[in-house]
Amino acid sequence: MEDKRKTYIGYVRVSSVDQNEARQLKALEDFGQPIHRIFMDKCSGKDTNRPEFQKMMEYVRDGDVVVVCEYSRLARSSTDLLRTVKELQDKGVEIVSLRERLDTTTPEGRFMLTVFAGLAEFEREIMRERQKEGIAIAKAQGKFKGGKPKPIDMEKFRAECKKWRAGEQTATAAMKNMDMKPNRFYRKVKEFGL
């Protein structure tokens, strides 16, 4: 049953343009209350300098409810998350996280939010440490090949793109012939105007 007194605002964030926001949009659709407006960023949550996030923060008013799939969509650090929650609460705005199911209007909810934010940040730090350790081990074993991309043979690249554009081969075949992943292939096509 719709709560006529509240306006529900959705916020969706994915870390890059390659990531898909469909899961978050579906969760908002299934929320149970009509979402009146959705703000969506396709960028890192490392800080709060995100265009749609800033628009949302200016847009919300007393009595609104911001709905997110999980608190990590609002912020990646516990400091930014707690600052955002405080700023929203000062405006009279509530927050609903579909994953954590916390009520930020109570002292217990705010405490649990702090715990969840701290644990999420700790988990990210542990993952970074494991990644660094894994890379160090791979380097020591001569297996690490990350870092610099392979140079492109521009003559061959232009020829492969020409065949692709003429319909003589698929883009997938051109990528395979160039030993390139799709994102790099299309980025280079755009960069060189091919």
Q: Which CATH class is domain 7-119?
A: alpha beta
Per-residue pLDDT of the chain (194 residues; tens, 9 = 90+): 445 578 999 999 988 766 788 899 999 999 888 999 999 998 887 788 899 999 999 999 999 999 999 888 888 777 788 788 889 988 999 888 888 777 676 678 778 877 877 777 787 788 888 888 888 888 888 777 666 677 888 889 899 888 988 888 888 888 888 888 888 888 888 887 77
Active site residues: 15
Q: What is the pLDDT of residue 1?
A: 45
SS (H, E, C) the chain: CCCCCCEEEEEEEECCCCCCCHHHHHHHHCCCCCEEEEEEEECCCCCCCCHHHHHHHHHCCCCEEEEECCHHHCCCCHHHHHHHHHHHHHCCCEEEECCCCCCCCCHHHHHHHHHHHHHHHHHHHHHHHHHHHHHHHHHHCCCCCCCCCCCCCHHHHHHHHHHHHCCCCCHHHHHHHHCCCHHHHHHHHHHHCC
